[in-house]
Structure 1
């Protein structure tokens, strides 16, 4: 009996117990959680406490009535009342053990759900300016964003990964002037970009330009460096992301919004809706009516579009492409930007935090030999994606960046991530998977197949704990998607790895010596393979490999 089945059973029992007032009981009232002390059972519920006061029932007596009914249900071995009305439920071994067979039979589908079944979702992340390599903050968003995309897809979402190239505006001009300075052997402009990568790209521009750059007028020369340099930087960014296991479905260029008239169309739409006005020679959007602290200039008095003008056009573009949910992952310096974007969403007649969500992530610090790593050899000013991957590899980098809540500052110990010990969390989880595969190979050689299966034999304490953790996987993946918290999957995998290692130490899968292969060995083979499947699926949701040998 899995958590969903037990929840449905408990809901039926509650409604049957309250009789005429069953209509007042909602599925949200029935919650289950794992007791910290497994002596208290497999599951605990506070449903009697939640409903007792509302329905005018004594919680402890109500809980006792529920317990009496639950023990009559097949698969439930025991139901007891604790404290003021908590309900502790213990499943019988056979009911719990059936999960192992179901996981193996469902394979990668175990843990999938329907939360976003058929919903078009646009997930925009990284979106670094094409003026330099991806820094460590953008690398965190690459890991988190791609994991979220995988979680949404596992819940049936129709996900489009989108990268927004900010190839319009002053930063591109500064980039072009920096390239020209590098080409001429001059220092970078005061407001420009430095680092070896600027010199490298300038040299590559010279290689691919078909003519003589020195013969061009200064403004034309700078335009060639801008055009070719941005294209080369785009290519480098895409290659870095691909090597990191992140590929985007759409690369959207900001220039398209300004060149295609999309900004004007967005302003016209908002004007029709009554939210645009003119003042002081500029065009304004009434975002203050929708929770922003002030109205925002859309078109400045000189006729140039303000920064938000591109946001209006881009959001409308996404909605016109059919995306019901649009999520944008931004860095910690964008907190003040959220209200105006939510005001924009409401001005278009949409629902803030539903049709548009902004996720804010905190800074990442790399630690080496106990000291912060502050500078990249290549970029000169920031630590880049390549710096991290060169030291620890893609798997360790992705796992480390995703295993902590995105709204907390993250310190990554490079020394720890290079260790092949259980202190290294990604090694600990990957090693658990490799062990399941080694056990399977050895079992094949010993003739221990998945032929027979008697779940009632899975009555060892470590088996109960392991099966309980395996049962949690669908709930974890659902919550990780719903709460936008992929770190829940990583922490779950570490819990599962620990439960598996303890079970492995306590319960034999392969017979000793001349002992014949018994039903218990084959039944445990199902448990081993089920654990391997969940570890493999969970690591896949994080974009981390599941090695078969380590």
Structure 2
């Protein structure tokens, strides 16, 4: 909740406790320990702005019927000096409280005063959090899962930042291990096929089949000719990987920057192999009794920490597994770089890896509970009501680059944050480019542009926004105005809740509702043509709404247009 809402809540808690104390002193209630109670926003705001269950939970302490306790509290409560002006008893003993107009005035003044900073808080106390997301295999193009993971991961990092955490965005580059060996073998086969023929050079059974491998091999041949045809295989593969991998990583960076994602760190897996950190981690596991040898391989005792089966760390051929490197990488995050908490954004197919990695952190002497994983479900692309799998431009499976060629970045980032990561989603390609209120990102952007248009048109008539007195802002008392201001007041708490639940989609839903409430207000209430004080107050409300709309859109790196 906003600082004002938090202040109001604490005022109410204090007033309720004081009322129960007075009721006991007067003999209206028997002397007993004060019960623990909650104050919360009721589901139906016509019942009040805040409600408490103090009388219900107090029945056990006071041995009185809840409704009598509620009446005793109501009779003794003093709301002077608070943001509340009255209370009502409802049902079997709930107490509902209603804000004074001063609260609504102060909310709007707070928004205008804070501007771009409205919604931000120090809730996270600068706890150091790393969000690692996308981390696509650099051996091929990024797919639709990376597109959704990119938007969710980046927006989650933004939400955490706004909630007061010290956030680092990281991409883990898998530039070592088995997949790079496979990458080199695939490139080698395609390169040799250029000069020796596809019928002569057999392609690896488990090689990467994509056209991107052919393209990189052709580019390598274009620069180097056939001089590597007779070279040693290891030398040839190394040259091909050294040529192709930077190009693939560069393409990833370009595509992600087009998607408005910029990382603080691009961490290469190869560094933990080269600097001895992988061996150091394996030695640590050995020293802690968490490994054993079997069939010529080194195994990790995952079952000792509750896993269903043990895992191989070092294969029979002496090469470390991806799991071993992943343990070392995550140990690096906590132990070497000192992050308080790490969040990984993974595809849902990695669900079995979550418990293993948390357990591995415990196994190396760290706290696996500080590693959190957000699992992302699949995306179905739909056009004309039909599922789409192939790009019209390339005829291949649609990847991130293809999507951004077809759909505006604003729409892609907004759409992928419409649903929680754990829910499967359909991405309607037709709707994403539609310019009407059926398109949710257009609907929200239009609310911002509409307010800009109102301000511009009134300015042309010599009517400009100005600061308003509390008395003038108290004129904003229609149901549409009160509902809109209440929603604005909840922005900070929505950000905190989204950060706590790792759910940036909560903010997308929040801003859609904000746009809805603004359109409702504007369709029901005139800004121009009223008495000057009311016009000024409604302009003040428009400016506050515009500020919050802009703050959400900029937080999610979505444009806030001034005209549409």
Q: Same fold (TM over 0.5)?
A: yes
Distance in 2 (alpha carbons) for counterparts of 1:379 and 1:251 = 29
CA contact (8 A) 1:399 1:426 kept: yes
Residue 28 (structure 2) aligns with? none
1:387 and 2:402 aligned: yes
Residue 307 (structure 2) aligns with? 292
CA contact (8 A) 2:145 2:379 kept: yes
Distance in 2 (alpha carbons) for counterparts of 1:287 and 1:35 = 46
Task: Summarize the Cα distance change of 1:343–1:378 in structure 2 as closer, same or farther, 3 Å threshold.
Answer: farther
Residue 78 of structure 1: CA displacement? 2.7
1:73-472 maps to which residues of 2 (within 5 A)? 73-183=81-191, 184-185=193-194, 186=198, 189-209=204-224, 212-214=227-229, 216-279=231-294, 281-319=296-334, 320-353=336-369, 355-376=370-391, 382-445=397-460, 446-453=462-469, 454-472=472-490
Report how many residues are paired: 542
Q: Any unmatched runs of 5+ in structure 1?
A: none
Normalised to the residue count of structure 2, the TM-score between the two structures is 0.89
Moved more, 124-133 or 195-204: 195-204
Task: Summarize the Cα distance change of 1:239–1:344 in structure 2 as closer, same or farther, 3 Å threshold.
Answer: same
Residue 79 of structure 1: CA displacement? 1.4
Moved more, 15-24 or 136-145: 15-24
Residue 210 of structure 1: CA displacement? 8.7
CA contact (8 A) 1:70 1:76 kept: no
Work out which of the residue numbers 12, 35, 43 in structure 1 matches 2:50: 43
SS in 1 for 2:119: coil
SS in 2 for 1:467: helix
Distance in 2 (alpha carbons) for counterparts of 1:276 and 1:249 = 35
Distance in 2 (alpha carbons) for counterparts of 1:215 and 1:457 = 86
Residue 95 of structure 1: CA displacement? 2.3
Normalised to the residue count of structure 1, the TM-score between the two structures is 0.91
Aligned residues: CA RMSD:
2.6
Task: Summarize the Cα distance change of 1:66–1:501 in structure 2 as closer, same or farther, 3 Å threshold.
Answer: farther
Residue 302 of structure 1: CA displacement? 4.1
Task: Summarize the Cα distance change of 1:271–1:11 in structure 2 as closer, same or farther, 3 Å threshold.
Answer: farther
Distance in 2 (alpha carbons) for counterparts of 1:203 and 1:285 = 42
Residue 15 (structure 1) aligns with? 17
Task: Summarize the Cα distance change of 1:211–1:486 in structure 2 as closer, same or farther, 3 Å threshold.
Answer: same
Distance in 2 (alpha carbons) for counterparts of 1:303 and 1:435 = 65
Task: Summarize the Cα distance change of 1:237–1:377 in structure 2 as closer, same or farther, 3 Å threshold.
Answer: farther
Task: Summarize the Cα distance change of 1:199–1:215 in structure 2 as closer, same or farther, 3 Å threshold.
Answer: same
CA contact (8 A) 2:71 2:89 kept: yes
Distance in 2 (alpha carbons) for counterparts of 1:403 and 1:23 = 46
Residue 174 of structure 1: CA displacement? 3.0
Residue 198 of structure 1: CA displacement? 3.0
Distance in 2 (alpha carbons) for counterparts of 1:343 and 1:356 = 10
CA contact (8 A) 2:343 2:372 kept: yes
CA contact (8 A) 2:32 2:62 kept: no
Residue 486 of structure 1: CA displacement? 0.4
CA contact (8 A) 2:140 2:210 kept: no
Distance in 1 (alpha carbons) for counterparts of 2:63 and 2:394 = 67
SS in 2 for 1:115: coil
Q: Any unmatched runs of 5+ in structure 2?
A: 25-30
